[in-house]
């Protein structure tokens, strides 16, 4: 196995197999939940070949690996004997820990991390499809366009089903039960009722919550909402479903537990979701979307400068996870998002700073470390360059933050907007193409990227103090040297 020794060393230094509650991974990090973080040898981990750094945030012990984290994760799971990222069953339970905020970040990361890759891939396909139409390569009525549109849009339409799986798993329930609940929510026959029949009556007339009633369940009015592409309803529903499932698992006889527990859970939670949870959660989603639009409209320039300037800091502490569901919710309720668009310039600023370090440094090790970090930053993966190059050198990190803030202000001034949940870095450009074609928002994204790259390069070259404080850290495994 390619990374077997690295996996063994990591497991040993996090306190051994018996100290691991669970382990998952995101784009660049192994995210451990440990029984006792004091047993982990953090200093030894930080100085290992193949480890960029270690972060303790959101109730997780995060070992930053780099772009090849998925390969290392597989080795860790194999060497540790973990099943699907879970620790061995020794009676330990993965109870929430840390502050309320830490638990919230851990919850969001646990639900959304598993689907980020396919989410970005689908968004990129939608963005490319929009690009092909904008440049006249495809017509939006052609068969090719329709197939590509289905390929990219399918995940977003059925997003609640994927979230049903990940959320139910995070809450300690059976993932397929969460998927089944979500399938009921997006069931086409129910979604099609409002357009096919006249309402029986209307609830909350004259208010913002005015709702026509088309069907009833046991005499109780059901407010039919559109749950395709939604986020919040299924997460709340699975939270209660997991608790119901655990309750029934304790009281139902073993001989009928296999089918009776999920059956009773579904019979209770699905109607409650349609009648209560779904409408309330949908209204909350819409209000959240409207609030972000309102806050953005107060001053797009200031919002862009703050988000752009502090985005890498948010990433360091895992705080960016709090904005990911907001952006996804905006796509679902508004059809677009400006939150993630405002931080687009940060990876280009980082790439410019790294290139300056790469070219100006006289240290062969730093040059070797800068190459993969630079390439990663171009494609939006910032952690190797941030932890391995600019953060240890300090001044390039500060320069990157300042330039990212300038880029964010430019994006805010021209109101650059994302129309699909696209990829990262260079792959994010198509997501800024409006359904009407190229507009100033798209061109502003290009300007912010180019300006961010060039300005960060020049400032780092002139003021980065590169050869005086060379303290870079390894960004990949192999023979790149230790920190």
> Do the beta carbons of residue 61 and residue 74 sit within 8 Å?
no
DSSP labels for 455-470?
A: HHHHHHHHH--TTTS-
Task: Spot the catalytic one: 26, 75, 125, 449.
Answer: 26
d(CA 211, CA 422): 33
Residues 6+ away with beta carbon under 8 Å from 318 = 55, 57, 58, 60, 62, 105, 109
Question: Could you tell me which residues are beta bridge partners of residue 337?
Answer: 418
Pair of tokens at residue 234:
């299924």
Pair of tokens at residue 418:
């994302």
The answer to whether residue 26 is catalytic is yes
Can you tell me which residue has the tokens 């270690």? 54
Closest alpha carbon to 1 in 63, 104, 93, 72: 72
Buried b (16+ CB within 10 A) or exposed e, 224-248: bbebbbbbbbbbbbbbbbbebbeeb
> Do the beta carbons of residue 119 and residue 332 sit within 8 Å?
no
Closest alpha carbon to 374 in 384, 365, 364: 384
DSSP labels for 233-285?
A: HHHHHHHHHHHHHHHHHHHS-HHHHHHHHHHHHHHHHHHHIIIIIHHHHHHHH
Count of CA atoms in the C-beta half-sphere (13 A) of 351: 22
Residue 96: other Cβ atoms inside 10 A: 11
Question: Could you tell me which residues are beta bridge partners of residue 61?
Answer: 32, 56
Active site residues: 26
């Amino acid at each position: 196995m390619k990374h077997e020794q690295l996996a063994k060393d990591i497991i040993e230094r996090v306190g051994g197999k018996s100290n691991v509650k669970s382990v998952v991974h995101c784009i660049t990090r192994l995210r451990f939940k440990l029984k006792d973080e004091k047993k982990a040898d953090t200093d030894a981990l930080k100085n290992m070949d193949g480890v960029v750094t270690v972060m303790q945030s959101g109730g997780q012990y995060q070992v930053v690996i780099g772009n090849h984290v998925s390969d290392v994760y597989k080795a860790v799971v194999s060497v540790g004997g973990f099943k699907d990222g879970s620790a061995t069953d020794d009676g330990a339970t993965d109870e929430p820990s840390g502050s309320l905020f830490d638990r919230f970040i851990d919850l969001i990361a646990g639900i959304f991390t598993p689907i980020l890759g396919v989410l970005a891939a689908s968004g990129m396909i939608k963005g490319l499809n929009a690009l092909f139409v904008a440049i006249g390569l495809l017509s939006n009525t052609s068969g090719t366009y329709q197939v590509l549109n289905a390929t990219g849009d399918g995940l977003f339409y059925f997003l609640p089903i994927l979230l049903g799986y990940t959320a139910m798993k995070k809450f300690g329930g059976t993932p397929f039960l969460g998927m089944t609940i979500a399938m009921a929510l997006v069931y086409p026959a129910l979604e099609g009722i409002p357009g096919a029949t006249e309402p029986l009556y209307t609830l909350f007339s004259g208010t913002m919550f005015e709702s026509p009633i088309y069907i009833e369940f046991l005499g109780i009015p059901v407010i039919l909402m559109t749950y395709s592409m939604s986020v919040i309803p299924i997460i709340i529903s699975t939270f209660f479903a997991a608790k119901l499932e655990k309750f029934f698992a304790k009281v139902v006889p073993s001989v009928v537990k296999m089918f009776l527990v999920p059956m009773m859970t579904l019979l209770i939670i699905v109607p409650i979701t349609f009648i209560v949870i779904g409408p309330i959660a949908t209204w909350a989603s819409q209000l959240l979307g409207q609030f972000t639009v309102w806050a953005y409209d107060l001053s797009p320039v200031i919002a862009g400068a703050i988000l752009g300037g502090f985005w890498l800091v948010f990433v360091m502490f895992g705080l960016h996870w709090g904005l990911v569901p907001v952006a996804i919710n905006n796509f679902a309720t508004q059809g677009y998002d400006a939150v993630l668009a405002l931080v687009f310039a940060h990876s280009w600023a980082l790439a410019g700073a790294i290139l300056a370090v790469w070219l100006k440094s006289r240290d062969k090790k730093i040059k070797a470390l800068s190459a993969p970090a630079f390439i990663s930053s171009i494609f939006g993966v910032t952690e190797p360059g941030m932890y391995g190059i600019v953060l240890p050198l300090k001044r390039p990190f500060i320069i990157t933050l300042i330039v990212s803030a300038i880029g964010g202000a430019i994006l805010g001034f021209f109101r650059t907007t994302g129309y699909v949940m696209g990829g990262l870095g260079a792959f994010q450009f198509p997501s800024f193409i409006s359904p009407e074609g190229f507009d100033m928002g798209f061109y502003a994204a290009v300007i912010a990227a180019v300006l961010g790259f060039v300005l960060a390069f020049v400032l780092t070259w002139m003021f980065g103090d590169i050869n005086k404080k060379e303290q870079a850290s390894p960004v990949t495994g192999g023979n790149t040297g230790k920190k």
